[in-house]
Amino acid sequence: MNLISMQHNKVTVSVIGASGYSGAELVKLLMKHPGVAVEELYAHTQAGKRFTDLYPSIPCDKVFQTYSGQTDSDLYFLALPHGEALQLVPGIVAAGKKVIDLSGDFRLTSIAEHKHFYGGDKSAEDVLQYGMPELFRDEIVGSTAISNPGCYATSIILGLAPLFRGGMAGLAVESVNVTAISGISGAGRSSKLELSFSEMSGNMRAYKVGKHQHTPEIMQTLGASATDPSFRFVMTPMIAPYVRGIYSVLNVRLASPVAMDAIRELYARFYANAPFVRLRDGVTEVSHVAHTNFCDVSLAFESDGSLVIITAIDNLVKGAAGQAVQNMNLMLGFDETAALL
């Protein structure tokens, strides 16, 4: 029997955890995808309600179900709190279905780092192919199960990857200092007093300083380790009173001077075949990428010779649902940009 069953010649997909912001963004993108049919939406706390009851602006008449091990669809997206996908993904994969998980459960290869940064246990087998198309396109094409990158990690890795993976002779990084600012939607849909309008309006604050769970993911993808770093890495995540977007300012100290023309050429070459990475001549802004799957990158040098890289993404699209659909497109042989442009 063909691995991919067809519903009106379309691949069938379901979303587990469809009531949260990332899950809803997934539904919105999947509903307009020409090659897939949305089969079921699962959300235990919202079971029995219609999707449009929660998100009236998205035209989907599906009713939320409780997930209890169903494996009828060809591909499953999981947009669940950390720790929950560990219990579900093995059964879905064993049933011969494709999986894209948006949590951090399967990203880290180091069990010790996973325990330290996520606070839970997992086995050495609980690692899936990391789904960043700009870096691992060939591996994603041949995969049946993908671990979707985190939002901060996406904005920071795409800003740094050419320096670490671009193969430029004589280029070495001594330190990276990151200030990354997220919109409030990055904290999820659940109600929290500290994220209420009265607490956040006109306010900004840092959080998880020194122990953000995306730090080991970033270091791992750059070929380093959070617990035994080969270069100094400092990340300060912040939250600001806007809804969506991540704005990352990366101050990079290079071991020796490199001309700006050479840096720009390196980035242009590295992302030549990346349809969703745009190099900006001026300074990028969150508004340039909101509601899109783009990551915009700006480059400049400080007067002291340090390289400043600024990136902007939409945390719910390129930082979550859009990148998941981009991964699905590669896995299933669709055009990489389907439903995303």
End-to-end CA distance of the chain: 33
- Looking at the domain 11-148+320-332, which fold is it? Rossmann fold (3.40.50)
Dist. CA 293–CA 302, nearest whole Å: 29
Average pLDDT taken over every residue of the chain: 93
Task: Return the domain boundaries, the chain.
Answer: 11-148+320-332, 152-313
Closest CA to 219 of 301, 79, 107: 107
Same fold, 11-148+320-332 and 152-313: no
* Digit-coded pLDDT (tens) for 100-131: 999 999 999 999 999 988 888 999 999 999 99
* CA 254 to each of CA 179, 228, 233, 279, 306: distance values in angstroms, whole numbers, following the listed order: 18, 19, 13, 20, 7
Of the candidate CATH numbers 3.30.360.10, 3.40.50.620, 3.30.70.20, 3.40.140.10, the domain formed by 152-313 belongs to: 3.30.360.10
What residue ranges in 27-88 does DSSP mark as E strands? Answer: 36-42, 75-78
From the candidates 99, 151, 235, 313, which is the catalytic residue? 151
Q: How far is CA 47 from the centre of its chain?
A: 26
Nearest to 84 by CA among 29, 126, 30, 28: 126
- pLDDT recorded at residue 191: 63
* Residue 151 bears catalytic tag: yes
pLDDT in tens, 8-44: 689 999 999 999 999 999 999 999 999 999 999 999 8
Total-model pTM: 0.94
